[in-house]
Amino acid sequence: MKQSLFIVIIFFLSCSKPFDNRLLGIWKTNSKFYRATYKFEKVNHNIIGKLLYYNDGTTILHETGTTKDIFIKNLRYDDHLFIDAVSGATQTTSRNYEIKVMHTDTLEVTTFIHNKPSIETWTRKH
C-alpha cells in the first residue's frame, strides 16, 4: 500500500508543471525610441510585470510602489511564448504582450498596437 501511494505521489509530481523562473528579474529595453526598466516577479503563483522606469523624451515615469506599476497582471505560457492575456494598462482580453525567451539574458518582446506587432529586445540587468 505504501509503495503504490509513493508511486502515485511521484507520478503527480512529475506531471505537474514547475514554475518557470526564466523571466524573473529586472530587464532593460534596447529601444531607440525610449528607455525603460521592468521587473518580472512571482506573486501568488502568477508572473506579473512591473514598470520601474520609463523615459521616452517627453514622459518620465518612476516606480511608485503601488499597483499602478503593474503593466502585466498574469503571464501564461502557451506555445513556447509567455502571453499576457489581460494587460493592466488596457483592461482588455486581447493579447498585448508576447515574450519569447531567446537566451538566459535576452527576451524578444512583441507588443501589439492597433493589432500591429512591434518587436523589441530586452536584456537582463545584473
Domain-embedded: residue 5? no
Domain-embedded: residue 53? yes
Instruction: Give the three-state DSSP class for 6.
Output: helix
Q: In the chain, where does DSSP find H-type helix?
A: 2-15
Model-level pTM greater than 0.75?
A: no
Domain-embedded: residue 48? yes
Domain-embedded: residue 26? yes
pLDDT of 19 higher than 60:
no
Give buried/exposed letters for 32-61 (b at 16+ CB in 10 A, else e): eeeebbbbbeeeeeebbbbbbebeeeeeee
pLDDT, tens digit, 9 for 90 and up, residues 82-105: 786 554 444 444 557 889 999 899
Distance CA(59)–CA(27), nearest Å, equals 19
Domain-embedded: residue 115? yes
Distance CA(125)–CA(105), nearest Å, equals 8
Range of the domain at 67: 19-124
Nearest by Cα to 123 from 98, 93, 103: 103
Domain count, the chain: 1
Domain-embedded: residue 4? no
**CATH no. for residue 35?**
2.40.128.520
